[in-house]
Amino acid sequence: MAEIFTGISSIRYEGPESKNALAFKFYDADRVVMGKPMSEHLPFAMAWWHNLCNGGKDMFGDPTTDKSFGAEANTMAHAKAKVDAGFEFMQKVGIRYFCFHDIDLVPEADDINETNRRLDEVTDYMLEKMKTTGIQCLWGTANMFGNPRYMNGAGSTNSAEVFCFAAAQIKKALELTVKLGGRGYVFWGGREGYETLLNTDMKFEQENIARLMHMAVNYGRSIGFKGDFYIEPKPKEPMKHQYDYDASTAIGFLRAHGLDKDFKLNIEANHATLAGHTFQHDLCVSRINGMLGSIDANQGDLLLGWDTDEFPFDVYDATMCMYEVLKAGGISGGLNFDAKTRRPSYTYENMFEAFILGMDTYALGLLKAAAIIEDGRVDEFVKDRYASYQDGIGARIASGEATLEECAANALKLKAPKLPGSGKQEYLESIVNSVLFG
Ligand code: XLS
Ligand code: CA
Ligand code: CA
């Protein structure tokens, strides 16, 4: 098998002083941070769709990058060339995981039976590569948004026939995820939403999504899938309203339908900001509910109102992300670069530069988050801020023993409360700056 990314060798750590575009400045896989090597804190994954399938096509123009990898489009030869390219790429970058949608792997046939046969063939080929390289599958999923049959959703579709096709795709994608040893299985409900309530029975649609998820859990467990199922929240795009709006909404849905034992969340940075939250907000909501499973590590552009899926370079965001991950005691999933190079960055070398940027950004995020925790001033401040709940009436409130009458009597006795302690936001922000840049 011929080398695809010729002229690019394995990417090495050279340190912050390095000017070599094809070297890591901060990601040093074996460096131990808070008791664990960076590579374990940061189980990075390559998204098959962006890195191997997406050539930069957008609504206004054709692809700028050639992702044929020497094979004819829409053939099994191309599917296998993508496997060759993907494994060579991951080995050179030092990425240990990948994520996939079913139809990222093979061209979809008119007959789903033939698509399934192709999927079997390509995953046999992937499995061989996985054995020789040690590269693993982070998660699998089914693309239930691209094909026109999903115009009205998959679980939420108005057509029982289409619902069955979604079930068939999930069944196969779960089988493939088990075959490839995937840690997780994702539901991103891109078309699970609506354009107008004039034609939509929202209650029925949401219940049907839950029914489909229950079917997936039952089947997955029956074939030995032991990993987590994930919902990946996103508020909009492609639909105007998507049911999995944000982490809180998705957790409420999972609990309402008895799915919370089998599901966690896959939080994507760019989706959180589209929902009007910071990335950290949705990570924190997931963490405090015991549901932080996996992360799609990208970033959006706050000047644009859509999902730009950029490689992350914002060290503040990466720091606050890793702060949540460290507070969660790690995640069972990983950090998937659901990100694509900008359209004018069209060379193979640019693909490597993008991953170097993302991995270095998260390495910095990890180092800085650990430093904030080790510094201790932020944690200490937060603890002190709630000190009034440590004894007296405060302790009775926190333990759930106090009654409304008791609290009210306390207020009447005090006549007027003291002002609560200062929030000192600016002081805390300056601590973060001095930890980041001091
Ligand atoms: C799209 C989503 C999608 C999921 C997987 O916005 O990010 O790529 O991660 O279906
Ligand atoms: Ca996205
Ligand atoms: Ca994603």
State the pLDDT at residue 226.
98
State the pLDDT at residue 275.
98
State the pLDDT at residue 265.
99
Please report, for the chain, the start and end positions of each structural domain, with discontinuous segments joined by +: 33-374, 378-437
- Ligand 1 centre to CA of 130 (Å) is 23
Contact between 185 and 243 (Cβ < 8 Å): no
For residue 352, the tally of other CB atoms under 10 A from its CB is: 19
Which portions of the chain are predicted below pLDDT 50? none
Tell me the Cα Rg of the chain. Answer: 24
State the pLDDT at residue 423.
97
* HEC letters along 132-165: HHCCEEEEEECCCCCCHHHCCCCCCCCCHHHHHH
Q: Is 154 in the pocket of ligand 1 (CB under 6 A)?
A: no
Q: Is 268 in the pocket of ligand 1 (CB under 6 A)?
A: yes
The one catalytic residue among 50, 101, 277, 281: 101
Q: How many Å apart are CA 318 and CA 299, to the nearest integer?
A: 10
State the pLDDT at residue 1.
78
Angular region, 61: left φ>0, alpha ψ -120 to 50, beta rest: beta
Contact between 33 and 366 (Cβ < 8 Å): yes
User: Which residue owns the Cα nearest ligand 1 atom 3?
Assistant: 188
- Ligand 3 centre to CA of 308 (Å) is 11
Who's near 429: CB < 8 A, 6+ residues apart? none
Contact between 251 and 286 (Cβ < 8 Å): yes
Helix 160-179 and helix 112-133, axial crossing angle in degrees, nearest 10: 20
Class of the domain covering 33-374: alpha beta
State the pLDDT at residue 329.
98
Contact between 90 and 8 (Cβ < 8 Å): no
Q: If we measure between CA atoms, which residue out of 155, 163, 162, 161 comes closest to residue 189?
A: 155
